[in-house]
Amino acid sequence: VLNVIRRLCNKEHANLHCTSYQSSRKASVRLHALSFYLQEKKCFPEKVDISAALDLMMQCASTEITCESGAVMAASLANGGLCPLSGDQVLSPVATRSMLSVMQVAGMKDYSSTFHFKTSVPAVSSSHGALLAVVPGVLGLMAFSPETDACGNPWRAVHFCQELISTFQLHSFDIRTPFRQILAYRQWKAESEGYQIMNVLLAAFKGDVQTLRRYFLSGVDVNAVDYDGRSALHVAAAEGHAEVISFLLQNTRADADLKDRWGSSALQEARRHNREAVVTLLQGHI
């Protein structure tokens, strides 16, 4: 389970917090009572080890993450179980849908129904002040604020989510009309394909990994070429930007064998311009 969590986080920080786990085991009397009651009502499959199931649940609840790793996990859930940074399909879309459904109805403890009414987004919180929220197909976020309310949720993070949903009209039942003067995330003007290719190649020329990552996450094809058949990999190889080459090869699955109109690959471009570090990277990938 921990390996799956780490894959969702793109191998960012995620570890079992042993102290929290031991504390949960000592205070699990109520959980055991509820579990045996549910078992008596035949809510569990036959021959299920209740103690083992509870132990696994408490280990999962005691997993320690950072805001950065939690944000990547939320983005993976918003992306149907596909980590947007690594391209790894960690969870199936069906499993992701089931997880988000459970988060929506029970993730915010006793405040779940009210939070769902106000935001309509799946979310889960911890008593330590963390809140993970997901807007499917749009975004995932992780907020942290230690001070909690009567329900055990971080009240500042809850308020932030509600304001975010209201400001950007992300509620499932928002009616977006041109007469409402409110900032809507869907109202930006889409760039033309040619303009996107130009910006991707310019970012590769400058060595701007952050811009390349932004375009990749927005769905732009990093293998797109200009009129000379040159891709971002060709440009970065010619300029000697090893960091860009590493990002394109490891995170975006750029095609290193792609050839331009003169029949040159990125490796040949790097050799032509004496970019030894880039040559080593490309040879290791091929």
**Can you give the CATH number for the domain in which 233 is found?**
1.25.40.20
276 is a domain residue? yes
Q: How many domains does the chain have?
A: 2
Q: Note the pLDDT tens digit of each residue in 234-244.
A: 999 999 999 99
Q: Which of the residues in the chain have pLDDT under 50?
A: 178-191
Yes or no: say if 268 and 234 are a contact pair by the CB < 8 Å rule.
no
49 is a domain residue? no
Residue where a domain terminates, one of 152, 172, 188: 188
Count of Cβ atoms closer than 10 Å to residue 181 Cβ: 5
H or E stretch including 105? helix 93-106
180 is a domain residue? yes
CATH code, 130 = 3.40.710.10
User: Per the structure block, which two tokens stand in for 95?
Assistant: 């499993």
User: Per the structure block, which two tokens stand in for 213?
Assistant: 């990552």
In whole angstroms, what is the distance from residue 64 CA to residue 20 CA? 9
In whole angstroms, what is the distance from residue 51 CA to residue 60 CA? 14
Residue 252: the pLDDT is: 84
CA angle 201, 202, 203 (to 5 degrees): 90
Q: What separation in angstroms does the CA of 50 have from each of 17, 25, 32, 248, 251? A: 22, 14, 8, 46, 41
| Residues 210 and 232 reside in one and the same domain | yes
Residue 192: the pLDDT is: 65
Residue where a domain terminates, one of 128, 162, 188: 188
| Residues 231 and 161 reside in one and the same domain | no
Yes or no: say if 70 and 142 are a contact pair by the CB < 8 Å rule.
yes
Q: Is the pTM of this model over 0.85?
A: no
CA angle 62, 67, 72 (to 5 degrees): 95
Nearest 10 degrees: Cα torsion 201, 204, 210, 212: 40
Residue appearing with tokens 């331009």: 260
182 is a domain residue? yes
Residue where a domain terminates, one of 188, 204, 234: 188
51 is a domain residue? no
Q: Which domain holds residue 122?
A: 66-188
| Residues 225 and 162 reside in one and the same domain | no
Residue 86: the pLDDT is: 83
Give every CB contact of residue 274 below 8 A, 6+ residues apart in sequence. none
Please tell me whether residue 250 adopts helix, strand or coil conformation.
helix
In whole angstroms, what is the distance from residue 99 CA to residue 104 CA? 9
